[in-house]
Amino acid sequence: MNKSFKIPFKGRGHSYSQEEIDLVSEIMRDSDTLTQGKYLKLFEQKYKDFLGVDYTFAMSSATSALEIAAQLLCLSDKDEVIIPSHTYTSTAYPFVKKGGKVVWADIDFESRVVNAETIKSKITNKTKAVVVVHLYGYLADMPEIMQLCADNNLVLIEDCAQSLGTSLDGKRAGTFGDMSIFSHHSQKNISTLGEGGVLVVKNPEHAQIVPMLRHNGHIGYQDQEHYWKPAMSNVDFPKLNGIYIEPNNYCLGEPQCAVGSMIIDRVDEVNLLKRSRAIQFIDHLSQFEQLVFHRVDNERHNYQHLVAFVQNDKRDQFINKLFIDKGIQCVVQYYPLHRYPYYEKHGLGTADCPNTELFFDNMVSFPFYETMRDSEIDYMLESVISVLKSI
């Protein structure tokens, strides 16, 4: 069915300032290199300063950052990695590709993310790592999860693809885990021109080899008499825990890094705008028990997405009426990963995740991005109220 939407579910999260646009034009016109240059270093430094960490690496995507994180685990086919089933698929498949067995963890129904209790029941003597996803922009119960991982000698990885700028007890998302991953995809609260990501590591040994893994195994200029002998840079397979790790090409271009180095300065501003709008929207609908939101009026949530649970099996009717009668495009996120054919074919099609199943089968995600006009927010609110009354 073809239908134009008054309010679409956009694939773009925000706008760019004229200063950011001008900088990209300048780099396109004048820069000596369009990759691996000064803006890469600047972007990584700005990220370090923003998070208060020692090692950050810009990547072509969050997925490529997850691929490297999976490599750094040096997984065997006996190792298990605990991952929520309720997340986007790239959270999980890098670990499958690198030989690990994924064990699906359920979400807490109220917060829609994993917690220490939902993780604890999945730990075995084969567990090597835990991946925590701060889904929809909500920072999970990290102090408790950190303690659980420490008690069981587990590597803790944070998937912060949707949670940049959130904080708990003064600590930013991405500073709790041994490794952390960020996304700057087009839909995120800030984007490096459509694609991009960042990998954060705490282990200095990891920090030494990540640049090689990111850039084709290059190990930099050598101490040699002539720069062209044998080449301008050497290539090798980095070695970790006695295992050679194959390199990749996951570099992020200079225009994207330049934009990232500027736009990171307004992460908190964008998050505040979206959070305040979300809280107003939620509060205006508080009288309607049919919609159950997760209301968090502090920096622990950035409302990357605005989602709700629809009571009484009315989800599909609710979405359809908003679509047909009001021209509002809502969507459903995220398909439980254990239901996908890919994971079923890898023997990962079974999961004890009742909250994940229940939430996904009844959830709705509203159009929600920085560039929405107040009039669009008002129209969506009026439309939701009208549809709720009708059903």
Per-residue pLDDT of 8-63, as tens digits, reads 999 999 999 999 999 999 999 999 999 999 999 999 999 999 999 999 999 999 99
In a domain, 9, yes or no: no
Percent of the chain's residues with pLDDT above 90: 92
Distance CA 91, CA 133 (A): 8
Residue 221 — φ and ψ, nearest 5°? Answer: -65, 145
Q: Is residue 173 one of the residues assigned to a domain?
A: yes
Instruction: Give me the chain's average pLDDT, please.
Output: 96
| pLDDT over 80 (residue 219) | no
The per-residue pLDDT for 58 is: 98
Confidence of residue 223 (pLDDT cuts 50, 70, 90): low
- Tokens linked to 351: 């999961």
Q: Are residues 96 and 186 located together in one domain of the fold? A: yes
Beta strands 171-172; 363-366: pairing state: unpaired
219 vs 88: CA distance, rounded Å = 33
- Distances 364 to 273, 315, 328, 361 between C-alpha atoms, Å: 21, 7, 12, 9
pLDDT band at 1 (very low <50, low <70, confident <90, very high): very low
Domain finish residue from 265, 291, 321: 265
Pairing of strands 306-310, 291-293: antiparallel
Is 13 within the bounds of a domain?
A: no
Interior angle at CA 308, CA 167 and CA 336, nearest 5: 85
What is the spatial distance between Cα 260 and Cα 11, in angstroms, rounded to a whole number?
Answer: 18
Q: For 353-378, what is the mean pLDDT?
A: 97
Q: Give me the domain span that covers residue 35.
A: 18-265
154 is written with which tokens?
A: 């587990």
Q: Are residues 362 and 278 in the same domain?
A: yes
Q: Which CATH number belongs to the domain containing residue 132 in this structure?
A: 3.40.640.10
Residues 307 and 343 in one domain: yes
Question: How far is the C-alpha of 22 from the C-alpha of 2, rounded, in Å?
Answer: 37
Is residue 160 included in any domain, yes or no? yes
CA distances from 25 to 21, 251, 262 (A): 6, 20, 14
Does a structural domain hold residue 10?
no
Residue 8 lies in a domain: no
The mean pLDDT value for 218-240 works out to: 76
Do both 53 and 147 map to the same domain? yes
- pLDDT tens figures, 186-198: 999 999 999 999 9
Which residue, 174, 135, 179, is CA-closest to 156?
A: 179
In a domain, 278, yes or no: yes
Strand partners, 125: none
Say if residue 220 is in the same domain as residue 349.
Answer: no
Q: Note the pLDDT of residue 229.
A: 77
pLDDT confidence bin for 259, thresholds 50/70/90? very high
Residue 2 confidence (pLDDT): 46
Total domains in the chain come to 2
The residue out of 241, 265, 289 marking a domain boundary is: 265
Q: Beta strand 306-310 with 127-133: parallel, antiparallel or unpaired?
A: unpaired
Residues 245 and 320 in one domain: no
Q: What percent of the chain has pLDDT over 70?
A: 98
Tell me how far the alpha carbon of residue 287 is from its chain's centroid.
32
Q: Which of 265, 296, 317 is the last residue of a domain?
A: 265
Q: Judge residue 121's burial from the number of C-beta atoms within 10 Å of its C-beta, 0-12 exposed, 13-18 middle, 19 or more buried.
A: exposed
* 55-100 pLDDT, tens digit each: 999 999 999 999 999 999 999 999 999 999 999 999 999 999 999 9
Instruction: Please check whether residues 258 and 119 belong to one and the same domain.
Output: yes
Nearby residues of 206 by Cβ (< 8 Å), 6 or more positions away: 55, 72, 179, 240
CATH code for position 350: 3.90.1150.10
In a domain, 183, yes or no: yes
Tell me the pLDDT band of 267, cut-offs 50, 70 and 90.
Answer: very high
206 and 290 in a single domain? The answer is: no
Burial class (CB in 10 A: 0-12, 13-18, 19+), 228: exposed
* pLDDT at residue 226, as a whole number: 78
Q: Do 222 and 333 lie in a common domain? A: no
Picking from 86, 104, 58, the residue whose alpha carbon sits closest to that of residue 95 is 104
pLDDT at 227: 73
Same domain flag for 290 and 181: no
**Res. 232: pLDDT tops 70:** no
pLDDT, tens digit, 9 for 90 and up, residues 104-163: 999 999 999 999 999 999 999 999 999 999 999 999 999 999 999 999 999 999 999 999
Instruction: Report CA 27 to chain centroid distance, whole Å.
Output: 28
252 and 179 in a common domain: yes
Q: What is the band of 228 on the pLDDT scale with cuts at 50, 70, 90? A: confident
Q: Are residues 261 and 273 in the same domain?
A: no
